[in-house]
Amino acid sequence: MHRRQLLQSLLAGSAAAALGLPLPASAFEVTKSDAAWKKQLPPAVYEVLRHAATEPAGSSPLLNEHRKGVFVCAGCGLGLYASETKFESGTGWPSFYRPLANAVITRADHTFGMERTEVLCRRCGGHLGHVFDDGPKPTGLRYCMNGLALKFKVA
């Protein structure tokens, strides 16, 4: 793909994400068929990343992860959150106040009759969780992530 085509594709994906529309597969660097994702990922991880499922609150071992390192996408390995931005939100899901630069994209989510902002991995489009405006300083944001969507890499 030529640079111009890639830029147009990425811009189309960003516009679609902003409008809450399905993103074209070409909007992501890592693209695989649904069958390939299903083969690569454990069943529960597949359901979260590829079908926007939510793990049960309090079930993630990453809730108790406090070492220095980086939380990465369980689908493609892209670094998403520095451990320094993790905080205890009391919600039952790993929470962060800021993603790494160029790590995530967001789109409107109107499922379950409410308006939320979905967070996706910028590289593979995997569903990570949602972001809310009730987090701590300095951003005031709470990126409430499914632990199944993440892996932890020690620094």
pLDDT at 80: 98
pLDDT at 93: 98
The count of other CB atoms within 10 Å of the CB of residue 106 is 19
Give, for 14, the enclosing helix (H) or strand (E): helix 3-19
At 99, give phi and psi (nearest 5°). Answer: -80, 165
Q: Choosing from 73, 76, 121, 144, which is the catalytic residue?
A: 144
Q: Report, as an integer, the average pLDDT of 21-32.
A: 72
Name the band, by pLDDT with cuts 50, 70 and 90, for residue 25: low
Q: Is position 73 annotated as part of the catalytic site?
A: no
The domains found in the chain, sorted by start residue, are 28-154 (2.170.150.20)
- DSSP annotation string for 72-139: EETTT--EEEEGGGEE--SSSS-EES-PPTT-EEEEEE-GGGS-EEEEEETTT--EEEEEES---TTT
The single-letter DSSP state of residue 149 is G
- CA gap 91, 95 in Å, rounded: 8
Q: Report, as an integer, the average pLDDT of 25-40.
A: 89
